[in-house]
């Protein structure tokens, strides 16, 4: 987890309002990803701050993939925009927390249009030559090989793809808003929800069923016996025996025969 999301920020103080917004944001990612067919399964949701993020949602593929379909890219973008959609639906406002999400989906949509030929309007074409220098981190040439008219169509297609993914995320969260409200409140309290717990809550189980009370660790030690219940209370007490060196004692019970005293 440290490698994926960065070190845990234990000293970072977050207000209750920001914590609540973060919980709905992360739950928006998780629920949209859960209900989409081609997105990766959700493994963990948390509002514990790590790295630069106030919270995180981890989704991992079930198998290694070397090819990605257009449907998978669309569902991934919708899941990525699920956090922003949740903020808009619940609070009627959006925050700066989705800036990285917007950057990701814009880049994905741009590649779909300009590199992968996945635009129905522009067809199977590649726009612009990759003349950048990889070792300098450049990917796209600054000199396009297409007209201004095509540039406007590319912008329109990128906008259409991104807005379509955002609308799909909003539709899913609006349909399942009751679950969004319920599980987000649980996330605020529990801080972290694992995959099995998340699926059980979506399946209709209550918080008490998913998170049973913790049993005390280790066996319970017995209490020491009360002095009145200790064995041997009525046993004969040792009495001093005169005439023996060193203060030796002899047991004298109520039924013990008396011995003559020594002169």
Known active-site residue 209 = no
d(CA 34, CA 203): 12
In angstroms, rounded to a whole number, what is the distance separating the alpha carbons of residues 183 and 132? Answer: 46
Alpha-carbon distance of 183 to 165, in angstroms, equals 23
Could you say which of 16, 18, 26, 196 is catalytic? Answer: 26
CA angle 126/111/51 to nearest 5° reads: 160
Instruction: With residue 42 as reference, give the H or E element that holds it.
Output: strand 42-46
3-state secondary structure of 59: strand
Residue 81's Cβ-side half-sphere holds a number of Cα atoms within 13 Å equal to 28
CA distance 176 to 185: 15
CA distance 172 to 32: 6
Question: CA 9, CA 31: separation in Å to the nearest integer?
Answer: 25
- For 217, which DSSP code? S
Could you list the active site residues?
Answer: 26
């Amino acid at each position: 987890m440290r490698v994926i999301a960065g070190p845990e920020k234990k000293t970072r103080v977050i207000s209750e309002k920001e914590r609540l917004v973060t919980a709905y944001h992360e739950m928006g990612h998780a629920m949209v990803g859960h209900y989409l067919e081609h997105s990766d399964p959700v493994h963990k949701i948390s509002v514990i701050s790590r790295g630069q993020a106030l919270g995180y949602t981890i989704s991992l593929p079930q198998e290694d993939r070397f090819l990605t379909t257009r449907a998978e890219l669309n569902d991934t973008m919708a899941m990525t925009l699920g956090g922003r959609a949740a903020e808009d639906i619940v609070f009627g406002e959006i925050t700066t927390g989705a800036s990285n999400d917007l950057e990701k989906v814009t880049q994905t949509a741009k590649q779909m249009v300009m590199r992968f030929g996945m635009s129905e309007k522009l067809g199977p074409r590649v726009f612009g030559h990759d003349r950048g220098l990889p070792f300098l981190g450049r990917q796209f040439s600054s000199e396009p090989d297409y007209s201004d008219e095509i540039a406007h169509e590319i912008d329109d297609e990128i906008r259409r793809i991104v807005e379509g993914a955002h609308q799909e995320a909003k539709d899913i969260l609006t349909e399942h808003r009751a679950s969004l409200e319920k599980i987000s409140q649980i996330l605020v309290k529990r801080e972290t929800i694992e995959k099995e717990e998340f699926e059980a809550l979506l399946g209709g189980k209550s918080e008490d069923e998913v998170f049973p009370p913790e049993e005390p660790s280790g066996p319970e030690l017995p209490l020491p016996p009360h002095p009145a219940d200790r064995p041997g209370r009525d046993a004969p007490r040792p009495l001093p025996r005169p005439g023996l060196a060193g203060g030796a004692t002899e047991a004298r019970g109520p039924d013990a025969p008396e011995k003559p005293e020594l002169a």
